[in-house]
């Protein structure tokens, strides 16, 4: 897949996930420094909202949009925002911006999500922008890798796909 970051070509490391794949299990770090384990979310629809850094304008739009609209999807749908920002910065950002309907987890320690889902940018070790939706059984039902990391995800398509799984 051809990707750019700020207009410059970049290389994604790891295995790109595809619709129909079983979602790889991964661990990341919650804002309270506890471990987030993706297997704990089996039985829920999970939207992984992948961003390079919460503290940038496009990432803020992505996080705020999911935070505001998650209520439309019902209690069986969870949004997990993933970046490589340190957990302390994620916690501070979420508190300052009133982000309380989605959770933020950090992939800074080992980049397990980035490598297993194919979102890790080799050149800067940030995550590329995108969305992965996993159904209640753990199967990938929607994937978007945004070709230019400074562009927005397709919110309408993601919400349409998530609503099918409620």
pLDDT tens for 66-119 read 888 887 888 888 999 999 999 999 999 888 888 888 999 999 999 999 999 999
Decide if pLDDT at 58 tops 80: no
List Cα–Cα distances, 113 to 48, 94, 128, 156, in angstroms: 10, 21, 11, 24
Q: Which of 26-35, 61-70, 152-161 has the highest mean pLDDT?
A: 26-35
Active-site annotation holds for 94:
no
Average pLDDT over residues 14-39: 96
Q: Which of 75, 34, 49 is nearest to 154 (CA)?
A: 49
Active-site pick, 28, 59, 77, 82: 59
Give the model's confidence band at 63: pLDDT under 50 very low, under 70 low, under 90 confident, else very high.
Answer: confident
pLDDT tens readout for residues 132-148: 999 999 999 999 999 98
pTM above 0.85, yes or no: yes
pLDDT (0 to 100) of residue 68: 84
Tokens linked to 65 = 């949009």
| Whether residue 59 has pLDDT greater than 80 | no
Task: Name the residue among 61, 66, 53 with its Cα closest to residue 101.
Answer: 66
Lowest mean pLDDT among 22-26, 69-73, 158-162: 69-73
Phi (first) and psi of residue 120, to 5 degrees:
-75, 125
Distance separating alpha carbons of residues 96 and 100, to the nearest angstrom: 10
Residue 160: pLDDT above 80? Answer: yes
Report which of residues 23 and 60 the model is more confident about.
23
Task: List all residues 6 or more positions away from 70 whose beta carbon is below 8 Å from its beta carbon.
Answer: 77, 79, 101, 102
Coil, strand or helix at 145? strand
Mean pLDDT, the chain, rounded, equals: 91
């Amino acid at each position: 897949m051809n990707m750019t970051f700020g207009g410059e070509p970049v290389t994604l490391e790891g295995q790109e996930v595809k619709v129909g794949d079983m979602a790889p299990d991964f661990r990341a770090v919650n804002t309270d420094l506890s471990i987030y384990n993706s297997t704990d979310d089996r039985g829920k629809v999970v939207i992984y909202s992948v961003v390079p850094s919460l503290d940038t304008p496009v990432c803020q739009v992505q996080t705020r949009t999911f935070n505001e609209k998650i209520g439309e999807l019902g209690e069986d749908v969870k949004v997990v925002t993933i970046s490589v920002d340190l957990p302390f910065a994620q916690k501070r950002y979420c508190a300052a911006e009133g982000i309380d309907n989605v959770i933020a987890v950090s992939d800074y320690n080992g980049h397990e999500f980035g490598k297993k889902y194919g979102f890790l940018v080799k050149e800067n070790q940030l995550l590329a922008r995108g969305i992965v939706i996993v159904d209640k059984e753990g199967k990938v039902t929607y994937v978007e890798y945004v070709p230019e990391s400074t562009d927005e995800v397709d919110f309408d398509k993601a919400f349409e796909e998530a609503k099918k799984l409620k």
